[in-house]
């Protein structure tokens, strides 16, 4: 096959080279294609060019003029660099603080362009830390100013200026090598622009609408490849033979009788749906949806027992180690009188231990709980009849193929607590049958939620301390583990210390975060569950699925930093034991309007479906490429809310190419997208 230069290492882009290539690698950019498809995080509109005389205070504009002076002043506290620009109507001073090297870049007499916000100081017009560039020739093409300028997610080794420069060079030299695989007629019919044009417009839009039509094309492609991939998988799976389970199960009956509660009608209904699938000689592909705390685990256990009674093993996969430990414990608890083995396989385990477990279960059907360690290379659960994938949204749509393709075709049950409207569910889970638990078990009292200013922190922690003295347990959630210079974010380690030295002096508290050793995490979770530890100061490691019925208090610091669905997931950790529960969201004084709306929605609603609707409204247009926070991490361009209008046309187009068997030309593109599933880190 011909080698396409677009697939060469990114170091070959003019200006990059081997050193900066490494910095780009850190962003996941390895090839020139990766660079071309790297999305801007947002855009700054500096396309409004004004004369200095007309530019008013507070306006975001671009000024073009000649440098008449450039100097650095040293005060005791800092160095102030000034570049004075004249354009025939007036002068303006561009200023930089402690960045005197910027000033050295300019020489008197040069024509320059500056973009930023106009301010007035005394009688002087100023523009503070503007974007800038020199306009060397008449036909100069703006990169950093005078246009709609993209801003990228980069790291500390790169600057926006250098990154834009690489992008410009890559577009100029390589974009024509990007393959177009839609025919002209198809593009017209679907109302899409060409792929190359889309990439140009994405990075160098001339007007706002350019971004929209570029994103439309890129989002279409992405969704199309994923849907086509899933569709072909499904066709493939249907050709395979599944196991026709006998679904009348003695073990399941026994479990139901041993439970301290009765299953709800909702749970019984979805169990029937699952049984229907299991009885068929086709591999089940079902998604079980239900809000946090709706009781999906027990449903999955009933299915597991049916599987085991038929002589097959069950693989139960969860996204984090904390959750693996918890599920192992919870399931062992449920099954203690049933006589079914429950084993835990974790990433850090010795190979010999893993093999011993595999050996045991090859003789006696059991449940194996684990993280993605379960589907790692070389791991193979013998005679697996049912695979359960909990908190599916965390895994990404494409990662499931790994599990499904192992062994003979097992039934697969996906569990998810990310409530999304049905049409959207169909887009992301297009190939799955969907069951939904619509109501929580009775007796739950919705948590009371309050959003407070950080000035009230003292009061908040006094309240928490009082509640703990009354026997409650508390989560204190923070956005980061360690404090960062230059960032205001509260961190696990600092808050832990602070609490330990003040309000919580004589109260046993612990920290919990992702980087800790598994055994340590497990020990802490256990002691917390048993009430020996009263409060956990933690990151979002507890976000998914953690179930400690006696924990009824949650404080979330810097709550403005979390997305709405994430806040909902976090809050889902409390109020699980039928007692009153409290969630307190702390934020600094100044937060964005959208963050305020999210927090108010949290105060008002507890229903996940309602919250995801509100989220959709708040986000609206203007926020690009934000799907990740919803957990659908396969998508870079397609945003499940913003772009839902693409779902229908994509499906129809998939139908068309599948029925005509006309998908050869899409295989490469599909391959590239499906590989992403392998790269996603879980937990």
| Contact residues for ligand ADP, defined by CB under 6 A | 261, 263-264, 267, 290, 292-298, 417, 441, 545, 547, 549, 576
Cβ-defined contacts of 454-460 (< 8 Å, 24+): 454/586, 454/587, 454/588, 454/589, 455/589, 456/586, 457/586, 460/555, 460/584, 460/586
Residue placing its CB nearer to ligand ADP in the complex, 158 or 263? 263
**Burial category of 45 from C-beta neighbours within 10 Å (exposed 0-12, middle 13-18, buried 19 and up):** middle
- When CB distances are held under 5 to 8 angstroms depending on the partner's kind, the choice from ligand ADP, Mg ion, none that residue 549 binds is ligand ADP
Residue placing its CB nearer to ligand ADP in the complex, 46 or 552? 552
Smallest distance, Mg ion to C-beta of residue 230, A? 24
Residue placing its CB nearer to Mg ion in the complex, 319 or 545? 545
Among all residues, whose Cβ is closest to Mg ion?
545
Residue placing its CB nearer to Mg ion in the complex, 130 or 545? 545
Smallest distance, ligand ADP to C-beta of residue 635, A? 24
Among all residues, whose Cβ is closest to ligand ADP?
295
Query: Near Mg ion by CB under 5 A, which window of 381-389, 483-491, 542-550, 656-664?
Result: 542-550
Smallest distance, Mg ion to C-beta of residue 135, A? 58
Smallest distance, ligand ADP to C-beta of residue 260, A? 8
Residue placing its CB nearer to ligand ADP in the complex, 283 or 293? 293
Smallest distance, Mg ion to C-beta of residue 304, A? 14
608 binds Mg ion (CB under 5 A): no
Residue 320: CA atoms inside 13 Å, Cβ hemisphere, count? 21
Smallest distance, Mg ion to C-beta of residue 141, A? 53
- When CB distances are held under 5 to 8 angstroms depending on the partner's kind, the choice from ligand ADP, Mg ion, none that residue 385 binds is none
Smallest distance, Mg ion to C-beta of residue 597, A? 28
Smallest distance, ligand ADP to C-beta of residue 453, A? 31
Query: Near Mg ion by CB under 5 A, which window of 50-58, 167-175, 310-318, 537-545?
Result: 537-545
Q: What sign for the dihedral angle of Cα 223, 226, 228, 234?
A: negative
Residue placing its CB nearer to ligand ADP in the complex, 410 or 545? 545
Residue placing its CB nearer to Mg ion in the complex, 326 or 587? 326
Smallest distance, ligand ADP to C-beta of residue 531, A? 16
Residue placing its CB nearer to ligand ADP in the complex, 251 or 298? 298
Smallest distance, ligand ADP to C-beta of residue 297, A? 3
Identify the CA nearest to 114 among candidates 83, 72, 145: 145
Residue placing its CB nearer to ligand ADP in the complex, 417 or 640? 417
Smallest distance, ligand ADP to C-beta of residue 448, A? 19
- Contact string (CB under 5 A) for Mg ion, positions 492-531, x = contact: ----------------------------------------
Specify whether the CB–CB gap between 284 and 274 falls below 8 A. yes
Identify the three-state secondary structure at position 466: helix
Residue placing its CB nearer to ligand ADP in the complex, 247 or 297? 297
545 binds Mg ion (CB under 5 A): yes
Distance CA 373, CA 450 (A): 39
Smallest distance, Mg ion to C-beta of residue 390, A? 6
Residue placing its CB nearer to ligand ADP in the complex, 277 or 391? 391
Residue placing its CB nearer to ligand ADP in the complex, 94 or 299? 299
Contacts of 671 (CB under 8 A, 6+ apart): none
Smallest distance, ligand ADP to C-beta of residue 277, A? 19
Specify whether the CB–CB gap between 150 and 43 falls below 8 A. yes
Q: Which two tokens stand for residue 675?
A: 């590989």
- When CB distances are held under 5 to 8 angstroms depending on the partner's kind, the choice from ligand ADP, Mg ion, none that residue 669 binds is none
Residue placing its CB nearer to ligand ADP in the complex, 446 or 626? 446
H helix count then E strand count, the chain: 22, 21
Cβ-defined contacts of 78-87 (< 8 Å, 24+): 83/112, 85/52, 85/112, 85/114, 86/52, 87/51, 87/52, 87/63
- When CB distances are held under 5 to 8 angstroms depending on the partner's kind, the choice from ligand ADP, Mg ion, none that residue 558 binds is none
Identify the CA nearest to 541 among candidates 480, 468, 500, 452: 480
Residue placing its CB nearer to ligand ADP in the complex, 85 or 298? 298
- When CB distances are held under 5 to 8 angstroms depending on the partner's kind, the choice from ligand ADP, Mg ion, none that residue 295 binds is ligand ADP
Smallest distance, ligand ADP to C-beta of residue 568, A? 12
3-state DSSP: the chain helix, strand, coil percent, rounded to 5? 40, 20, 40
Smallest distance, ligand ADP to C-beta of residue 477, A? 17
Contacts of 463 (CB under 8 A, 6+ apart): 582, 584
What's the distance, CA 174 to chain centroid? 30
Distance CA 451, CA 584 (A): 6
669 binds Mg ion (CB under 5 A): no
- When CB distances are held under 5 to 8 angstroms depending on the partner's kind, the choice from ligand ADP, Mg ion, none that residue 5 binds is none
| Bridge partner residues of 94 (DSSP) | 83, 127
Concatenating the DSSP letter of every residue in 249-278 gives -HHHHHHHHH-SSPPPHHHHHHHHHHHHHH
- The site that binds Mg ion (CB under 5 A) totals a number of residues, namely 1
| Bridge partner residues of 116 (DSSP) | 61
Distance CA 375, CA 647 (A): 30
Identify the CA nearest to 10 among candidates 39, 40, 27, 34: 34
Rg (CA), the chain: 28
- When CB distances are held under 5 to 8 angstroms depending on the partner's kind, the choice from Mg ion, ligand ADP, none that residue 264 binds is ligand ADP
Residue placing its CB nearer to Mg ion in the complex, 150 or 545? 545
| CB neighbour burial string for 279-307, b if at least 16 within 10 angstroms, e if fewer | beebbbbbbbbbbbbbbbbbbbbbbbbbb
- When CB distances are held under 5 to 8 angstroms depending on the partner's kind, the choice from ligand ADP, Mg ion, none that residue 294 binds is ligand ADP
Residue corresponding to tokens 């140009």: 200
Residue corresponding to tokens 């960062």: 484
Q: Phi/psi at 42 (nearest 5 deg)?
A: -165, 180
Identify the three-state secondary structure at position 531: coil
- Contact string (CB under 5 A) for Mg ion, positions 77-106, x = contact: ------------------------------
> Residues interacting with Mg ion, by CB under 5 A?
545
């Amino acid at each position: 096959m011909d080698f396409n230069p677009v697939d060469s290492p990114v170091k070959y882009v003019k200006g990059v080279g081997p050193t900066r290539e490494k910095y780009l690698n850190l962003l996941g950019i390895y090839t020139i294609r990766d660079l071309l498809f790297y999305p801007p995080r947002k855009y700054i509109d500096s396309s409004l060019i004004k004369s200095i005389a007309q530019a008013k205070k507070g306006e975001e504009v671009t000024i073009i003029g000649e440098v008449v002076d450039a100097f650095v002043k040293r005060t005791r506290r800092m160095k102030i660099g000034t570049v004075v620009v004249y354009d025939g109507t007036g002068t303006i001073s561009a200023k930089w603080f402690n960045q005197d090297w910027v000033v050295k870049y300019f020489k008197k007499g040069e024509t320059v362009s500056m973009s930023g916000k106009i301010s007035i100081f005394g009688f002087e017009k100023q523009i503070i830390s503007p974007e800038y560039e020199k306009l060397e020739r008449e036909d100069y093409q703006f990169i950093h100013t005078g246009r709609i300028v993209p801003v990228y997610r980069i790291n500390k080794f790169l600057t926006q200026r250098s990154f834009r420069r690489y992008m410009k060079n890559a577009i100029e030299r390589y974009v024509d090598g990007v393959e177009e695989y839609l025919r002209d007629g198809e593009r017209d019919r679907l109302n899409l622009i060409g792929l190359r044009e889309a990439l140009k417009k994405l990075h160098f839009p001339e007007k706002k609408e350019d971004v929209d039509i570029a994103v439309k094309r890129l989002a279409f492609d992405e969704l199309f490849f994923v849907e086509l991939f899933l569709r072909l998988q499904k066709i493939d799976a249907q050709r395979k033979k599944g196991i026709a389970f006998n679904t009348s199960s003695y073990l399941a009956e026994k479990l139901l009788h041993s439970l301290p509660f009765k299953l709800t009608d909702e749970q019984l209904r979805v169990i029937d749906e699952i049984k229907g699938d299991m009885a068929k000689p086709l591999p089940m592909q079902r998604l079980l949806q239900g809000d946090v705390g709706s009781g999906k685990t027990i449903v999955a256990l009933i299915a597991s027992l049916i599987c085991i009674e038929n002589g097959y093993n069950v693989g139960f996969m969860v996204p984090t180690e904390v959750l693996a430990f918890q599920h192992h414990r919870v399931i062992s608890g449920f099954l203690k009188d049933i006589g079914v083995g429950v084993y835990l396989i974790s990433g850090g385990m010795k190979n010999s231990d893993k093999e011993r477990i595999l050996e045991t279960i090859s003789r006696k059907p059991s449940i194996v709980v684990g993280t993605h360690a379960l589907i790692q290379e070389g791991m193979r659960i013998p005679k697996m009849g049912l695979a359960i994938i909990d908190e599916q949204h965390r895994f990404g749509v494409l990662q499931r193929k790994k599990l499904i393709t192992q062994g003979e075709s097992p039934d697969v049950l996906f569990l998810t607590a990310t409530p999304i409207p049905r049409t959207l569910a169909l887009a992301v889970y297009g190939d799955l049958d969907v069951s939904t638990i619509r109501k929580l078990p009775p007796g739950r009292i919705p948590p009371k939620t309050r959003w407070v200013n950080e000035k009230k922190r003292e009061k908040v922690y006094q309240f928490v301390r009082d509640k703990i003295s009354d026997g409650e347990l508390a989560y204190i959630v923070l956005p980061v583990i360690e404090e960062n210079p230059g960032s205001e974010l509260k961190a696990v380690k600092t808050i832990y210390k602070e609490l330990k030295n003040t309000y919580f002096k004589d109260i046993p508290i612990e920290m919990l975060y992702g980087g800790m050793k598994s055994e340590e995490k497990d020990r802490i979770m256990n002691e917390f569950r048993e009430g020996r530890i009263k409060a956990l100061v933690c990151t979002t490691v507890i976000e998914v699925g953690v179930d400690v019925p006696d924990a009824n208090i949650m404080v979330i610091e810097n709550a403005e930093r979390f997305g709405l669905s994430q806040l909902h997931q976090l809050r889902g950790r409390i109020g699980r034991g039928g007692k009153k529960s409290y969630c307190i969201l702390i934020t600094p004084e100044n937060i964005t309007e959208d963050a305020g709306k999210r927090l108010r929605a949290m105060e008002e609603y507890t229903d996940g479906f309602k919250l995801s609707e509100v989220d959709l409204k708040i986000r609206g247009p203007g926020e690009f490429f934000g799907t990740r926070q919803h957990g659908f991490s396969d998508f870079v361009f397609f945003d499940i809310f913003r772009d839902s209008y693409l779902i229908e046309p994509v499906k129809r187009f998939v139908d068309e190419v599948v029925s005509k068997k006309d998908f050869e030309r899409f295989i490469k593109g599909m391959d590239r997208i499906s590989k992403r599933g392998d790269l996603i880190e879980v937990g």
